[in-house]
Amino acid sequence: MEPAETVQASRPVPAGGRAWWAAILMLAAVVSTPILVGVLAVEIQADLGIGDGALGLCVTAFWACTGLTALAGGRLIDRAGWRRAALAGLAVSLVSQLGVATSGSVAALLAWLVVAGVGYGVVAPASNLVVVREIPARLRGTALGAKQSATPVVALLAGLAVPLVALTIGWQWAFVLATLLTVAAAATSLPRTRPSPRATRPEHTPASTSPAASSSHANRTPPTTTPTTQPARKDQDSTGTAEETRPTPAGPGLAASAGPAAAAGDVRSAPASPGSAAVAGEVRVGSAGPRAVTSLVRVSVVAGFGTLSIGSLTTFAVSTLTRAGLDVSTAGLVISVTSLVSLVVRLGAGRLADRRGSDGFRPAAVMIAACALGMLAMASGGTALTVAGTVVAFCGAWGWPALLLMGVLAQHPDRPGVAGARFQLGTALGAATGPLLFAAVSEAAGLPAAWLTVTACTAVSAALVLLSSRTRVAGRG
């Protein structure tokens, strides 16, 4: 008998259901730590007596740890299920948030951010699995947009925490308050009920059967369902993906609905459905083939270059605004308003992708290019241009990850944990390199030079996304 988690996950949760909140709160909880470190950078640096280089090193350690953890844990997440992985990662994140709040030196801050990176590396791919396993395919772009919107929402709250918390009772209390997000995420990740006969009863049982017929049907359930799932296990064993012994239960558009061959990674044999090719474009390669591996490597590189901007913005935007002439409280409010605008942009982009059946690559390229233009304005040093550039840069930076992730997950429906982890590896390396590169250039050549350097890397990412999109259309992956 399958675990209760698997049985419950086999029924898509309606829009607005608990799965949406679980995915959103999971990401919000684990991303709050690095965002708070960046937004509260002025207070943390003054309290600990550290410069941009030390702060950049701490944030780099966090993101590097997330990438290593995701690479090692993606396959395990597919096997164990998203609930177990999420609860374990959230427990680690809770401990790390309390640890950061009690940090009295740069060494302690570095150590606790490494621990926080472990929690993020497990929870973020698990949140992707929630969307793939629990949300209907026709809403998957919207759901990913809503989940990824957790980041600008947390940034908005972090901006408000500067005048309301950091400047009144101390920056440490902002991390204590962040634990409330972690507790809420854990609560929504718990199973609704204990295993029950109703949870394990086949959904296709006719409602109008008599008691005797129902009893007879229940007695015949094991031999009836075994032939349905056993071929998938055999095919998967032969392709080396034995961990996917359960049909993917995410509703229309996933490989499980197309039969054993699709479950084993051969997406070409899956019939067209509104939730598969319509969402991700025409997917012609299986996740186990060399083309799929090359595709994931390419996307990881693209995500890495693009995420250089996100790591730099979240860590040094407030510092840049203050050096452009704003006080700390006003800079925090600018980040809050910017995050609110970014939230609208991200949700709108996901919804638009669902309606138009976009593969996500070209809209992502537009968002990345907008981010580059915004950071170019931030390099000017003028107050007005810096504020305007911050708004544009954050909107672009928060907008593209959900679009690109939507295409990656839909292209690899049989192993979403591994695919999400490979994507996260690229973003983690970019986020880790961004603050370190920015701090090094800033200390050597000044703040404008640092923003120009990151702008150039972001422009390269936009060009690679466009090239990747054209290659997929012309060469099918």
**Which tens digit of pLDDT belongs to each residue from 196-225?**
444 444 444 444 444 444 444 444 444 444
Q: Is the predicted pLDDT of residue 435 greater than 50, yes or no?
A: yes
Is pLDDT larger for residue 78 or for residue 268? 78
Q: Ranked by mean pLDDT, which of 141-150, 327-336, 377-386 comes out on top?
A: 377-386
**pLDDT number for residue 377:** 94
Enter the DSSP assignment of 138.
G
- For the stretch 351-398, pLDDT in tens is 776 666 666 677 888 889 999 999 999 998 889 999 999 999 998 887
* Structural tokens at position 286: 């299986």
Nearest 10 degrees: Cα torsion 35, 39, 40, 44: 80
- Could you report the per-residue pLDDT of 46-102, keeping only the tens digit for each? 999 988 788 888 988 898 888 888 777 666 777 778 888 899 999 999 999 999 999
For residues 217-236, give the mean pLDDT: 42
Task: Name the residue ranges covered by the structural domains of the chain.
Answer: 13-193+286-475
State the pLDDT at residue 469: 61
- Tokens 């940034």 found at: 155
Residue 107 DSSP label: H
Q: Does the pLDDT of residue 270 top 70, yes or no?
A: no
Helices assigned H by DSSP within 240-356:
260-263, 277-280, 290-323, 328-356
What count of residues does the chain have? 477
Cβ 34 vs Cβ 314: under 8 Å = yes
CA gap 292, 375 in Å, rounded: 33
pLDDT (average), residues 432-461 = 90
Residue 70, CA distances (Å) to 126, 186, 223, 257, 358 in order: 10, 19, 38, 28, 27
Chain centre to alpha carbon of residue 310: 13
Task: Return the closest-CA partner of residue 132 out of 425, 428, 408, 424.
Answer: 408
Per the model's pLDDT, the better-predicted residue between 440 and 358 turns out to be: 440
* 64-68, 260-264, 301-305, 328-332: range with lowest mean pLDDT: 260-264
Q: Where are the beta strands (DSSP E) in 200-304?
A: none
Task: Return d(Cα 375, Cα 364) in angstroms, integer.
Answer: 17
Q: Are 292 and 412 in contact (CB under 8 A)?
A: yes
Using the 8-state DSSP alphabet, how is residue 215 labeled?
H
- Output phi, psi for 42, to 5 deg: -60, -45
**Which residue, among 373, 367, 397, has the nearest Cα to 385 in the 3D structure?**
373
How confident is the model over 343-358, as a mean pLDDT?
A: 72
> What is residue 106's predicted lDDT score, i.e. its pLDDT?
92
Question: 66 vs 142, which has greater pLDDT?
Answer: 66
Residue 36: name the closest of 182, 137, 141 by CA.
Answer: 182
Helices 140-148, 106-134: axis angle to 10 degrees equals: 160
Residue 332 has pLDDT above 50, yes or no: yes
Rounded-to-integer distance, Cα 416 and Cα 264, Å: 13
pLDDT at 388: 94
CA distance 289 to 312: 35
Mean pLDDT, all residues of the chain: 73
C-alpha distances (whole Å) from 450 to each of 309, 313, 377, 412 are: 11, 11, 12, 36
At 240 the pLDDT is: 37
Q: DSSP character for 17?
A: S
Neighbours of 444 (CB within 10 A): 10
pLDDT band (50, 70, 90) for residue 279: very low
Q: Please report, rounded to a whole number, the percentage of residues in the chain having pLDDT higher than 70.
A: 68
Give pLDDT, residue 105.
Answer: 92
Q: What is the pLDDT of residue 109?
A: 95
Q: Would you state the pLDDT for residue 246?
A: 42
Which option is the CATH number for 13-193+286-475: 3.40.50.1440, 2.40.170.20, 1.20.1250.20, 3.40.190.10?
1.20.1250.20
Higher model confidence: residue 240 or residue 345?
Answer: 345
pLDDT value at residue 205:
41
Between the alpha carbon of residue 285 and those of residues 39, 260, 402, the distances in Å are 42, 16, 22
